[in-house]
Structure 1
Amino acid sequence: MSYVEHVYAIEAAGTAQLTWVNVGIGLAFILFDVGVSTVFRLGIGLSLLIAAFRCIGQLAVVATLLQRVFENKNPWLVILISFILNLLGTIETVINKSPRRFRYMFPTVLVAMLGSTIPISVLGAKHAMSIEPFWTPIQYIPIVGMLCGATISGIVVAVSYILKELQENRDKVEIYLAFGASRIEACRPLAIQALRLALTPPINNMSVLGIIAIPGMMTGAILGGSSVEQAARLQMIIMFMITASTTLASVFTTFAAISVTIDDEHRIRGDRIEKNGKSWFNVSEWSWKKTVKALKVTLPWRRREDAEKDGRSREGSVNERSPLLV
């Protein structure tokens, strides 16, 4: 189904044309959440507003870009968009979502996401969904986006648990290492628990679909003109792909984190684990004075001036204390 046919199908289904006024009305729900945060002093009101405006800006840009990609049907654009989705997912995972990071985490997560979302999306679109060609933009790009979004949660949960245990309960792992166990053997219980936690959300989602929750992909397919039966089968395939992608990425990043944080000599390297700093988009702790002070320290001419000033002050203090130098 082409993009134009997809639009006509939505209009035929009776979906109203939404404007920015409707979006503004929907934003009132976020303002209600901000009010609740203010009343109960939860401290998340600013985060809610920032997340809401990020959502508006990101979706507006994506809608504009995807509309042109859907109309052009260029496979190279599809490849570029797929890589950008994985890159942005990696940035979100490493910078904004993970409370702890390990050395080389960014390239590790990027490889994990590309190595899980791309092969599974290709196989699923080509064989499970019978899409010809499999890279048809209007179908393939949303699939990659859903896989990326689900994979982020699995990676964050698995890596956060591994790094937390290696920092706070490292003595348990060191006992295994002291008795001659390899790093994989010593961290086996941690890896098992981390993967269980990472796979719990997709398992729970599959358990409640169709009975408790009507999934968004199925709803979109119905609005796009598909029959309810076809929409249900499409949702089944998507959930299976999401679970497989989350599993692959979580396994890869879990063992990568263990390999980096425990070296070849079977020592836990705490220096390779660090707590994540503030998010790029978290401005609640931003201070103009601290920023100016940091710039003064960083700029080379400021460093020379400060050094000369410190030298003069030290020389003056020595002259004052030593009467022999007067």
Structure 2
Amino acid sequence: MNAATANSYPIDTLGLVVTVLLVAVAAGISYAMRLGVHRQMLWATVRSLLQLLAMGYIIKFVIERNSPWLAFALIAVMILAAIQITMSRAANIPRDVMPQVFLTLTASVILQISVVTELVIRPHPWYAPAVLVTMTGMLLGNVVSAIAVAMSRFFADMESRRYEIEMLLSLGATPFEAARPSIVASVKMGMIPTIAQLASSGIVLIPGMMAGQVIAGADPLTAAKYQFVVLAVISALTLMADSLIMALVYKVSFTKLDQYRPAA
């Protein structure tokens, strides 16, 4: 038994049961105080447990087969699921922006794999499923939240600025110039959680990846390096994704004659 194995603390069924019971107690407090979040919390917890366990089995299967085709097939399924989640999370957005969302998520994943995975981590073999799939999952989780918030803010802000936009267009402004204040506000809004996590990591926050590696017996310094790479990469790619989605969707708010068109 090596040091890493000796110092690891695997979670058994009892640990999962205690965790679920803790959530149930919190939901009970919500019910007693009539906060109205107990049902959502319980459902989200059960759904999270089932999804994570299922993904754990799937990733284990893909790692054991060690096939690039299986790894990329799983990543493709993750992208499709991310599109659906993004469209459901973003409020009051036109449904015809789905191709732009697909392009943004796919470009982010390709950039992450080609630059970060292959140039920073450099796994062996290059398609190592343990690296490709997990890195893609972490990236998509953050990008989905960021672009959903950014799109929601953009279309809401455009509607609130409707008369200002029409005035700018009548004075000769281009659609991009008229939409720019909403684009800037939306990108900033989408980046707030990511930047806050990056800035607070290591001082008031030990992020999940680093904490998990240390608990599992990894060297804390190595875990810190991995966590920094993940956070910095996610921040950079999230900003790129936010910028790309805004560059793609702002045109939806205008007709071919450069007239403002409210979101359907």
Establish whether TM, by shorter chain, passes 0.5.
yes
24, 27, 31: which one aligns with 1:34: 27
Query: SS of the counterpart of 2:116?
Result: helix
The CA distance in 1 between the partners of 2:122 and 2:49, in whole Å, is 33
The CA distance in 2 between the partners of 1:99 and 1:41, in whole Å, is 26
Percent pairwise identity: 25
Structure 1 segment 1-326 matched on structure 2, within 5 A? 11-19=5-13, 21-95=14-88, 97-270=89-262, 273-274=263-264
Letter paired with 1:98:
A
Contact 1:218 1:234 in 2 (8 A): yes
Deviation of 1:105 (Å): 2.1
How many positions carry a matched residue from both structures? 264
Deviation of 1:148 (Å): 0.4
Q: 1:9 to 1:59 in 2, by over 3 A?
A: farther
Letter paired with 1:154:
A
Contact 2:4 2:218 in 1 (8 A): no
Contact 2:4 2:217 in 1 (8 A): yes
The CA distance in 2 between the partners of 1:190 and 1:14, in whole Å, is 48
Q: Which runs of 4+ in 1 moved over 6 A?
A: none
Deviation of 1:221 (Å): 2.9
| Root mean square deviation of aligned Cα | 1.9
The CA distance in 2 between the partners of 1:9 and 1:68, in whole Å, is 26
The CA distance in 2 between the partners of 1:202 and 1:68, in whole Å, is 31
Contact 2:86 2:144 in 1 (8 A): yes
Contact 1:38 1:45 in 2 (8 A): yes
Q: 1:225 to 1:39 in 2, by over 3 A?
A: closer
For normalisation by structure 2, the TM-score amounts to 0.93
Report which of the two structures shows the higher radius of gyration computed on alpha carbons: 1
Contact 1:103 1:260 in 2 (8 A): no
Letter paired with 1:192:
V
Unaligned runs of 5+ residues in structure 2 are none
Contact 2:100 2:248 in 1 (8 A): yes
The CA distance in 1 between the partners of 2:209 and 2:3, in whole Å, is 16
For normalisation by structure 1, the TM-score amounts to 0.76
Unaligned runs of 5+ residues in structure 1 are 275-326
